[in-house]
Structure 1
């Protein structure tokens, strides 16, 4: 196992395969998608050298992200390579779900174990606004239901809370939570585009859910994967997760780092500290060389981010990876 300078064990790496996405969610990438989103991509062979280095450091879990990882042109080849090597006990992917219906079975057969699917609204009009696209609610719902039927170990739904929701909208969300056998997580809005924080905070959201469900949300002790979510049980017995990095920070237990689609190691989502790894690969460095370099770089991690007072990161969210 490898630790950083604050004695936090790093066991989880998030890999952004491409900056490209077929959605333009306003909390992530409000600008028009350009052709440059698919340039400077790493090949599967390059990713495998970097991921072997993390394996040698004791990393247990890998999550493939984007952009939209289903737009990475070599996704199946990379998954095949990971399946053959059996380096990691947990391989998962975050996707917007719109392209999932036709590919879920193949991804599952190639060893993808878990899926996180973004689902930020339950009505057509709001979904169009949230995704910057028209007519995608149906394909995403189909993708979610296909993923459930395919038999992934876990399907999680991620909902970003861009602002406070009306009671009627929350009731619609709760109906989906009742319907689908998934783990639903609510994620606090992060002001990556230079906007002011809009809430709701952890306490506000928890209070609204308790009021509408008519009971207390009971904390769970069971860990669900390698992520930072805190889980609670609703009065109906369903489990939901909270990820609130701004108003309820988890920096003291942060166990992950991120790799950007251009091969940079990013030490914190909310800080611009980065190290070039793909440059080392292209210069002929081995996985052992890169592992030593990563272990050194991890000692530069900060104790925590700056929370509500943080400066807007130079990299936009879509250039870091979801």
Structure 2
């Protein structure tokens, strides 16, 4: 295992495969991304050198993201090569779900173990507003249900809380939680695209759920004991009174910097040490210079010592790299 200078063990890496996406969510990107976002992609072979270096450092979990990772043209080939090597004990993917239904079974057979699907609204007009597209809600629902049929270890739903939700909207989300055997996670809005932080905060959302559910949310505790169910991410998990498992990811009002166990790789091959900071290290250039995985591993271990103790929270400057260029 590799640690940073604050003695945090790094065991989880998120890889953005492409900046391209067929949605245009306002908290991620303000306008549609052109086909240029599919140029200069890393090949599966280049990713394998980088990922072997992380494997040598003891990284246990890998998450594939984007943009929309299902738009990465070599996804199946990369998954097959990873399945052949068995470097990671947990391989998962975050997707908007709209392209998932016809591919869910194949992805599971290629070794994908978990899938997280973004769903920011369950009412069609609001969903269209949240995604910048029309008529895609049913495709996402189909993707969720196909994933449940495919037999992934877990299917999680990610909902970004762009503002406080009415009780009526929250009740509609709770109804879907009863319908689907998924883990629903609620994610605090983060200040990308030049916008400022806005609620609800961790405490506000916790209180609203307890009030509408008619009982206390029971903590599901320590993350190290629940990874078999919840994975390696930063969410804090609770049981609703009716038994459903929900996750909270609130990096602004309820920071988890002291236990942060992950780093990110951008689709242009940069190692980003913190989502909310702009410090990066260029890995793909070293790969293209012929560096071995072992040499790359030593470089990564050195760079990890530059990680800061924490970010500045709601008072932070807006990161220079937009969210769609970092990876979800």
TM-score (norm 2): 0.98
Indicate the residue corresponding to 2:101 in structure 1.
101
Give CA-to-partner distance per residue, 1:229-260, whole Å, 9 cap, x none. Answer: 00011010111000000000000000000000
- What displacement does 1:3 show? 0.2
Indicate the residue corresponding to 2:178 in structure 1.
178
The answer as to 2:274 corresponding to 1:268 is yes
CA distance in 2, matches of 1:98, 1:30: 19
Question: Which sits farther off after the overlay, 12-21 or 33-42?
Answer: 33-42
CA distance in 2, matches of 1:40, 1:260: 12
CA distance in 2, matches of 1:135, 1:30: 19
- What displacement does 1:21 show? 0.2
Indicate the residue corresponding to 1:259 in structure 2.
265
Q: Give the root-mean-square deviation of aligned CA atoms.
A: 0.6
Indicate the residue corresponding to 1:227 in structure 2.
233
Indicate the residue corresponding to 1:242 in structure 2.
248
The answer as to 2:141 corresponding to 1:141 is yes
CA distance in 1, matches of 2:236, 2:317: 26
- What displacement does 1:63 show? 0.1
Indicate the residue corresponding to 2:162 in structure 1.
162
Indicate the residue corresponding to 2:16 in structure 1.
16
CA distance in 1, matches of 2:16, 2:27: 17
CA distance in 1, matches of 2:264, 2:297: 15
How many residue pairs get aligned? The number is 322
The ranges of structure 1 where at least 4 consecutive aligned residues each deviate by more than 2 angstroms after the TM superposition are none
The answer as to 2:40 corresponding to 1:40 is yes
SS of the aligned residue for 2:7 comes to coil
Give CA-to-partner distance per residue, 1:34-84, whole Å, 9 cap, x none. Answer: 122111100000000000000000000000000000000000000000000
- What displacement does 1:32 show? 2.0
Where does structure 2 lack aligned partners over 5 or more consecutive residues?
none
SS of the aligned residue for 1:231 comes to strand
CA distance in 2, matches of 1:195, 1:9: 32
CA distance in 2, matches of 1:9, 1:20: 31
CA distance in 2, matches of 1:35, 1:147: 28
SS of the aligned residue for 1:127 comes to helix
Indicate the residue corresponding to 2:324 in structure 1.
318
The answer as to 2:318 corresponding to 1:290 is no
Report if the CA contact (8 A) 2:42-2:269 is conserved: yes
Indicate the residue corresponding to 1:302 in structure 2.
308
CA distance in 2, matches of 1:191, 1:126: 21
Report if the CA contact (8 A) 2:21-2:66 is conserved: yes
The answer as to 2:282 corresponding to 1:279 is no
TM-score (norm 1): 0.99
Indicate the residue corresponding to 1:71 in structure 2.
71
Indicate the residue corresponding to 1:50 in structure 2.
50
CA distance in 2, matches of 1:16, 1:171: 33
SS of the aligned residue for 1:63 comes to strand
SS of the aligned residue for 1:26 comes to coil
